Amino acid sequence: MAEGGSLCRRRWKRHIVRQLQQRDRAQKALFLDLVQAYNKLLEKSSLLDSFTEKLQAETLDDWRRLPLRPTQEAADPVMGAVLDSATPLVSLKRSHEGHMVQLQTINGELAYRMIEQSALLKAREATLEEQRGRLASLRGDLSVAKAEWGQLKKQAEELSHKNATLKEAYETLGKQHLQKEGEFRQAEEKNRLLVTRLVRRKAEAAEDRNRKNDRINKDKLLTTLELATKRMIEVEPEPEEAKVDVKEMPSRDVPELENGARLCKRPFRSASATSMSLTRYMDVFKGFFDFRMKRGNSFSTASEHQYCYIPTCVAACLPSTVSDEQEAHLSEVNAIKFSPNSGMLATGGTDRLIRLWNVVGGRLENMQTLEGANGGITSIEFDPSGCHVLAATYNNAAQLWKIGDCKSKEILTGHTDKVTAAKFRSTRHQAVTGSRDRTIKEWDLGKGACSRTINVLSYCNDVVCCDTIIVSGHHDKTIRFWDSRGPHCTQVIPVEGTVTSLNISPDQMHLLSCSRDNALKVIDLRMHNIRQVFRADGFLCGSDWTKAVFSPDKSYALAGSADGTLYLWNMETGKLETSLPGVHRSSVNAVDWGPSGMYIGSVDRCRKVVLWR
């Protein structure tokens, strides 16, 4: 390092010497001609001075030797010639004096130039000294930079060595990764084959078990029928007064119980026998011959009566007129739902209230208000018995009420964003909720705890349940299917818009979805494909929570538009059957079709609930 510094200093010294030599040469070349001319002039001046002195001395000597009178000078021709010869000397002296003056002037100018050049030389010497100081500082900086460069070079060498080591390790890991990936693919293929075999074997076992159960049930049914035909059932005749009362009841309203509870109205519709399966026949005969529910001398509770009077819809009535309309809430109404027996209607809005309405003779009678919700209501659902109400709220929770109790019975917390849907499973002891926090949760209502959480990639706007399958509609324009017995999504069906609602048909064979592309889609749950798409001129999906439903007999699809009009499509023809305008003055948020098929309910943003018939 020291040798390099000394070599550099020697180079800089030689460079400075060369620069000074070049400057001396350039300045010397400028004044060399001038100095030579000045020297020549000085030599000529000195020669002329000496020549003039000699001439003057000789002239004076001659003049002294030959003193003459003026008359003699004029008379003597020789003296006249001498005087004539002295005349050029005078002129020569004058010219010499003129040359001397010129030379003195030039000498003064040259002296002035010499002074200027000496001042310039001093300034240049000062600049040179400054440059030398700067050069010395730059040499110091250069030595520091060289030292840093040496350190950085060493660090770069160390890093390159480490990089080479890491590269070798990365290549080794890459080879191991490829090997492990191949092994993983082989294991995944084996796993897939094993799962396929397991599913096939389970399906075969399930079919075998179903066949055995069918045989056992048939045998039991035949045995029960034989015993029933042999058993005598005593039925006490009803008094004449009771018969008269029954005849005078055109609407078939059930009388009130002792505790004041009103039983639900039972509009009767005959069911087609050809549409009933063997399992349905078995359930009906079991109900007839279940001795716990004999029609003889027995008593039952209100809930048992509600189970007994659940209506069966064979053909839904196509609505055409408004049966009743009420201002239901203090602000926007988001949800509406009929009870399983169609005798009760529930509405929920952003005022944090759930209102229960009795549907009596086509009129809405305010029955009860359920309070205690911690946020606006987004979804309402009745349990299969019609005794409990489950609601989703803006306050990141779902709440459960029992009909007759004003306060909430259970609060299901655990979501981190507003809950958009809350639905019961096959019983009132299980429920499913969907939220904007990208999760779906399954709940054990007996324990009031979450039994499973499903993480999704998008907001969940609605959920429905059928047997062991959970179906969810999402903001990313997809419908996902989840098996409650497995951790992963089993099927994804893309649609062309954000899914706002889902509704499953009573036979659980078709799914109706409403989306923001202003279309309703019917999905075949057996083939998992879109079977029909319903559109209409003027139909606009008003929000991300707009609801659409099937009719109870699955003959029609119903949805409300942003302009307040209700649209009904025919499932068989796929065309618009009718529209119901002019009642709602704002966007229809939700609709529902009563299980009896007689009534339709709709709610809008202007706090109105309308009952159609």
| 216-259 per-position pLDDT tens digit | 877 877 887 777 776 665 545 544 443 434 333 333 343 343 33
Structure tokens at 144: 């520091």
Of 600, 512, 500, 495, the closest CA to residue 542 belongs to: 500
**Segment 551-557 mean pLDDT:** 93
Burial 536-545 (b: 16+ CB within 10 A, else e): beebebbbbb
Confidence of residue 63 (pLDDT cuts 50, 70, 90): low
| 353-379 per-position pLDDT tens digit | 999 999 998 899 999 999 888 899 999
- The pLDDT score that the predictor gives to residue 572 is 92
Confidence of residue 56 (pLDDT cuts 50, 70, 90): low
In a domain, 59, yes or no: no
Structure tokens at 270: 């005959």
In a domain, 149, yes or no: no
- The pLDDT score that the predictor gives to residue 497 is 92
Q: Is the dihedral of CA 517, 520, 525, 526 positive or negative?
A: negative
DSSP state of 80: H
Confidence of residue 84 (pLDDT cuts 50, 70, 90): low
The answer on pLDDT for 116 being more than 70 is yes
- Among 26-35, 188-197, 582-591, name the one with the lowest average pLDDT: 26-35
SS3 state at 467: coil
- The pLDDT score that the predictor gives to residue 182 is 87
Burial 64-88 (b: 16+ CB within 10 A, else e): eeeeeeeeeeeeeeeeeeeeeeeee
Q: Is the dihedral of CA 524, 527, 528, 534 positive or negative?
A: negative
Mean of all residue pLDDT scores within the chain: 80
Structure tokens at 606: 């202007």
Whether the CB-CB separation of 511 and 466 falls below 8 Å is answered with: no
- The pLDDT score that the predictor gives to residue 2 is 61
**Segment 490-507 mean pLDDT:** 93
- Burial bucket for residue 140 (CB in 10 Å: 0-12, 13-18, 19+): exposed
**CATH code for the domain of 487:** 2.130.10.10
Separation between Cα atoms, residue 60 and residue 69, nearest integer Å: 16
- The pLDDT score that the predictor gives to residue 45 is 77
- The pLDDT score that the predictor gives to residue 229 is 73
Confidence of residue 603 (pLDDT cuts 50, 70, 90): very high
**Stretch (H or E) spanning 454:** strand 449-455
The answer on pLDDT for 157 being more than 60 is yes
Q: What is the DSSP string of 366-421?
A: EEEEE---SS-EEEEEE-TTSSEEEEEETTSEEEEEETT-SS-SEEEE--SS-EEE
**Segment 8-25 mean pLDDT:** 83
Please indicate whether residue 308 or residue 44 has the higher confidence score (pLDDT).
Answer: 44
In a domain, 145, yes or no: no
- The pLDDT score that the predictor gives to residue 85 is 53
> What Å distances lie between residue 307 and 188, 304, 314, 418, 549, CA to CA?
49, 5, 18, 33, 23
Structure tokens at 183: 């092994």
- The pLDDT score that the predictor gives to residue 71 is 44
- The pLDDT score that the predictor gives to residue 108 is 80
Confidence of residue 470 (pLDDT cuts 50, 70, 90): very high
Going by C-beta distance under 8 Å and a sequence separation of 6 or more, which residues neighbour residue 379? 334, 335, 348, 391, 392, 419, 420, 421, 422, 423, 462
In a domain, 411, yes or no: yes
How many CA atoms, within 13 angstroms, populate the side-chain half-sphere of residue 272?
6
In a domain, 382, yes or no: yes
**Domain range enclosing 591:** 322-612
| 318-345 per-position pLDDT tens digit | 888 999 999 999 999 999 999 999 899 9
Query: Would the pTM count as exceeding 0.75?
Result: no
In a domain, 30, yes or no: no
- The pLDDT score that the predictor gives to residue 62 is 58
In a domain, 398, yes or no: yes
The answer on pLDDT for 118 being more than 90 is no
> How many domains does the chain fold into?
1
- The pLDDT score that the predictor gives to residue 249 is 36
The answer on pLDDT for 281 being more than 70 is no
Confidence of residue 575 (pLDDT cuts 50, 70, 90): very high
The answer on pLDDT for 305 being more than 60 is no
Share of the chain above pLDDT 70, in %: 80
Q: H-type helices in 66-76, by residue range? A: 70-75
Neighbours of 1 (CB within 10 A): 8
The answer on pLDDT for 428 being more than 80 is no
**Segment 194-213 mean pLDDT:** 80
In a domain, 49, yes or no: no
Please indicate whether residue 24 or residue 263 has the higher confidence score (pLDDT).
Answer: 24
